[in-house]
Structures are given as structure tokens and as C-alpha cells.
Structure 1
Amino acid sequence: MARAYAIANQLFCLFLKEKLYRMTTPIFLNALRAFEVSARHQSFSAAAAELNVTPAAVGQLVRSLEEWLAFPLFHRSGGGRARLIPTDIATRALPDIRAGFDRLNLGLARLKEASTGGVLTVTVSPAFAAKWLLPRIDRFQTAWPETDVRLDTSLKLMDFASQGIDIGVRYGAGHWPGLQAEKLMDEEVFPVCSREFLERHSGLRGPADLAGLTLIDDLSVDRQSGFVTWDTWLENAGVKVVASRAGLKINNSAAVLQAAVDGHGVALARSVLARDDLNSGRLIRLFPEITLPSSLAYFVVYRKECAALLRLVAFREWLLSETARDRV
């Protein structure tokens, strides 16, 4: 009896080995993924949209898995919103299959941490990209040629996990849920204008002389966050706010500076963004004896679980080295 059981067990192992040989590992994983996504959406069409393949391809993968298992995974319906209902055994297996894919994704992420190659996705504001990052990015690319930088410029606060963001630079008080934040740069706020504008308004000798001139307002930052406005700066300078003053309002910090460069008025500049324009002489700082540090600053931000990613570490250290270069 024992010998017969051993022979039967050996035959079963040979049968299982042959079954596994017929369904190679990549196809096997693809079929499991097609099954999991189809079960989640209860639709081959919706699964196909997520997997970026045709519904027929998803259906074929699921059928191949059912043939290999020799039992159905879905109750199929010809109509209604949910045409695929997982069978009881499929429903019991799904949590383990999903956990397995989660572990695979985690393992792949660990492998990616060991390489500086690949794509690094960086989120910054359009103004920071134009006025600070892009004029310097070639130095990072020269130092790390195997890293491809994908720049996502937006004023919106991106969800790093769902949108595949690796690292970013944000302007604010330094607190963003779910993100590590390291201060990159403080800044100061002061009035600037073009040399030509200053020549046309030769009487501009003190803050009180701003009355009647076009003052360019930056609307890109929430006023409730502690952002320095013209009213704040004028009050700090001891000048009563002129309610009837002329104004030009722009919702992009880089465009605010460009409007000043073009001679359209006096802008309230942020020192980090205006540095290159000041160094080149395109803009002139007015009343340098009056200082007003901003309560907001620039921060490098990233998810804690991604902190060891070598591409991220390289970019973070490069950002810090660039800010140190600016201070020299």
C-alpha cells in the first residue's frame, strides 16, 4: 500500500512539473495579473484599459489560466454592469495573489535602489524650473549621465506615490503630509525694476515714491500661507498702503520678473528666483537698505521609503551642492 502511494505521488509530481513547463513563468504571471485586474474591475474591457492591451488578450490570458487549473475563475454574465463575478475559490485566492504582486513590486523597487541609472521624476513649480533649476541642470546631467531626469512642472501639490514622483522642491513652511522635507534655501523679498524703468522714473529714491507707479503682484502663492505681498512689504518699509495704486497681477513668479525686466513696473522679487536677473543686470534691486526675510523657504521633499534610492540621493546631494555654490 505504501509503495502504491509513493508511486502515485511520484506520478502526480511529474504531472505537475509537466503542467508548469507548459505554462512558462512570464505567461503564468501575465495570466495571474490579467485575472486579478479583471476580478477587481469585473470586466475584461476595464482590465484591458488598465493593462494597455486588448480585451481579447485579457480574456485569452484568463482562459489559459482556467485551462491550466481545470476549473473556471468567473461566473460570466451576458449583460449588466458587472459581467464577471469571481467564483468562491477565486475570491478566496485573490488576497494572496494581490499580496504576491505587492511583494514583487517591493522587490523590484529594492533592485532599482541599487542603480543610479533609469528615470528620476522631479516635481517643481514652473517658475523654479525656469529661473533656478534649468539654468543649472546640465551640471547634474554631466555628473550623472546614466540618470534621465523627467521634470514635472506644476503649481499643484502632486501625490508622489500615485503619480510616480521621486523627489521635488516645494516652497512653503516645510510641512507636507507623507513627505520628508529638508530646507534647501531661505529667501528675502524686495522690489526690483529694469534699468530703463529706473531711468524713466528718476525720482524713485525711497519706498514712498512707489505711489502712483505700477506695482506688479505675484498671485502664484496662497496669501494665507505667509507669502509676502506688496502691502506687507510697504508696511515693513513704513509706508502707508496706497489703496488706489496702479497694479499688474500675474499668477507666475517667473512672468512677474519678466514683466519687470520688460519695464512694465516694479516687481516684488523673491531673491532665489531673481538671482540670475540681478547678476546679469537685467534687474536692479531698489532700496537695498530695507530687508524683509520671507517666513517661507524652499525644501527638498521625498517619500521616506524612497530615501535610499541612489538616483534620488544623487539629485538631493546635487541640489544641496548647488545652493552652497550660490552662497559663495
Structure 2
Amino acid sequence: LGRPLFLRLHRRVELTDAGHRLLGRLVRSFDDIDRVLSELTASPAQAVARVSVEPSLAAVWLVPRLNRFRQLRPDIDVSLEVDPRPIEFRSDQPELALRFSAHATSWPRSEAERLASTVDSPVLSPALLAAGPPLEKPIDLRHY
């Protein structure tokens, strides 16, 4: 440019008057470019489904199904809050909660719907079974 834009001083650099003028124009120009690029690349606002889910249910059931859901509904982002505690459904919390309960069918201030029935079965390793008393009746499981 034929003129200095900054001065080298001891352990620092300072802009000259020309440097300040150029910097001001460059900052505005880059801000304008950034604004236009943001407008051109902006995607439509995504709907967000905020879901609270128990850790084991998230790991075993929900997370493996999220990719399929995303394929079916690319317009909805799913935000997971993995938490075992019951949810209160306040404005800053998820709108949907998935909970496991063998007995409860409703919770306060919510609508509940059963998604699936489950069957529980005890599972023992052969080594554990060999080290303890034999299993002859279901009550014998109390020894393990």
C-alpha cells in the first residue's frame, strides 16, 4: 500500500491511522459477507422434540431407533435428556418423557400411555450358578 499499517514497538504492535481506517472497513466488510453467507446457507428452522428418558431405556431401546426416526422425520431434531428421575413438565423441561414402571400407569400432571409390556426373567452366569445352592423354586433366587 506504500504506507505502514502498524508500528512494531517493544513487545507489541500498534495500528497506524491508516491501519485503523482499513481495519474498520475490513471488519464491516467481513461482517456483511458473514451475514449474506448465513442467509444463503440457513436451513429452515427445525422442530425440536425434547425427550426425557431413563438411562437404560435410552441405551437399549431409544438411541438405536433414533436414526430410523431421523430418516422418517428429518424435519424434527430430537434432544435427549437422560435422567432417571420423574419429570415435572415445566416450561424449561422436555415435553415428552419415557419411563419404565412395572405398576404405575399414570403420573401427576401428565398423560401416560403404555408403549409395551415386558417380561422379566432372571439370568445367571453358569459360574455363579455352580458356586451356589441349586435352583429348584423361584424363591431360591434370593440366595443369589
TM-score interval for Structure 1 and Structure 2 normalised by the shorter chain = 0.5 to 0.7
Amino acid at match of 2:50: T
Structure 1 residue aligned with 2:85: 156
SS across alignment from 1:157: coil
Structure 2 residue aligned with 1:287: none
Runs of 5+ consecutive residues of structure 2 not aligned to the other structure: 1-44
**Following TM superposition, by how much is the alpha carbon of 1:203 offset from its aligned partner in structure 2, in angstroms?**
4.9
- Tell me which of 170, 175, 179 is aligned to 2:99: 170
Structure 2 residue aligned with 1:289: none
CA-to-aligned-CA distance 1:133-165 (integer Å, 9 cap, x gap):
111111001101111100011011122123331
- Tell me which of 128, 134, 141 is aligned to 1:209: 134
Aligned residue pairs, count? 97
Written as runs of structure 1 = structure 2, the 5 A alignment for 1:122-271 is: 122-172=51-101, 173-193=104-124, 197-198=125-126, 200=127, 203=130, 209=134, 237=138, 239-240=139-140, 242=142, 245=143
Say which structure is richer in helix.
1
**Following TM superposition, by how much is the alpha carbon of 1:167 offset from its aligned partner in structure 2, in angstroms?**
1.1
Contact 2:52/2:81 (<8 A) preserved: yes
Distance 1:159 1:241, change over 3 A: same
- In structure 1, distance between residues paired with 2:89 and 2:129: 49
CA-to-aligned-CA distance 1:244-269 (integer Å, 9 cap, x gap):
x46xxxxxxxxxxxxxxxxxxxxxxx
- In structure 2, distance between residues paired with 1:210 and 1:241: 7
Amino acid at match of 1:118: A
Distance 1:162 1:203, change over 3 A: same
CA-to-aligned-CA distance 1:34-75 (integer Å, 9 cap, x gap):
xxxxxxxxxxxxxxxxxxxxxxxxxxxxxxxxxxxxxxxxxx
CA-to-aligned-CA distance 1:6-59 (integer Å, 9 cap, x gap):
xxxxxxxxxxxxxxxxxxxxxxxxxxxxxxxxxxxxxxxxxxxxxxxxxxxxxx
Written as runs of structure 1 = structure 2, the 5 A alignment for 1:1-328 is: 117-172=46-101, 173-193=104-124, 197-198=125-126, 200=127, 203=130, 209=134, 237=138, 239-240=139-140, 242=142, 245=143
Runs of 5+ consecutive residues of structure 1 not aligned to the other structure: 1-115, 212-233, 247-328
| Aligned-CA RMSD value | 2.9
Contact 1:159/1:165 (<8 A) preserved: no
- In structure 2, distance between residues paired with 1:137 and 1:160: 22
Q: Percent identity?
A: 29
CA-to-aligned-CA distance 1:82-119 (integer Å, 9 cap, x gap):
xxxxxxxxxxxxxxxxxxxxxxxxxxxxxxxxxx9421
SS across alignment from 2:118: strand
TM-score by length of 2: 0.56
SS across alignment from 1:187: coil
